[in-house]
């Protein structure tokens, strides 16, 4: 089995490959895209809660709230996982979508 190590200065493709190996090693390959989307949604809620905490807004002091950077990292992991399920190259998809967005008029 491949060693789980993210190389220095990784590309988006490197992150996707890392997550692919991570899922194999941690036994997450049986989770389908729908399950991953639900998990991503949960992480988004956790991100919002961590942002509330960072902004000193009222939060439940008894809950275990992670940092904003940890929650963003969790979301990236799930995003890569979902992209991998659909064999989507995130960098390529980003570039293609930005070409469409560049042609839009923003007000």
* Residue 16: burial class (beta carbons within 10 Å; 0-12, 13-18, 19+): buried
CATH number assigned to the domain with residue range 12-102, chosen from the 4 options 3.30.565.10, 1.20.120.10, 1.10.287.1080, 3.40.50.2300: 1.10.287.1080
Query: What average pLDDT does range 82-97 have in this prediction?
Result: 97
Region of residue 5 (left: phi > 0; alpha: psi -120 to 50; beta: else)? beta
Share of the chain above pLDDT 90, in %: 82
Domains in the chain: boundaries: 12-102
Contact between 77 and 19 under an 8 Å Cβ cutoff? The reply is yes
What is the model's pTM? Answer: 0.88
- Give the per-residue pLDDT at 1: 53
């Amino acid at each position: 089995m491949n060693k789980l190590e993210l190389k220095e200065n990784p590309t988006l493709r490197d992150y996707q490959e890392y997550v692919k190996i991570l899922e194999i090693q941690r036994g997450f390959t049986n989770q389908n895209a729908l399950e991953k989307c639900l998990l991503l949604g949960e992480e988004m809620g956790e991100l919002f809660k961590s942002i509330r905490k960072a902004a000193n807004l009222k939060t439940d002091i008894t809950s275990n709230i992670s940092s904003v950077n940890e929650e963003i990292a969790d979301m990236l992991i799930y995003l890569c996982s979902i992209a991998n399920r659909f064999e989507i190259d995130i960098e390529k998809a980003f570039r293609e979508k930005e070409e469409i967005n560049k042609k839009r008029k923003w007000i």
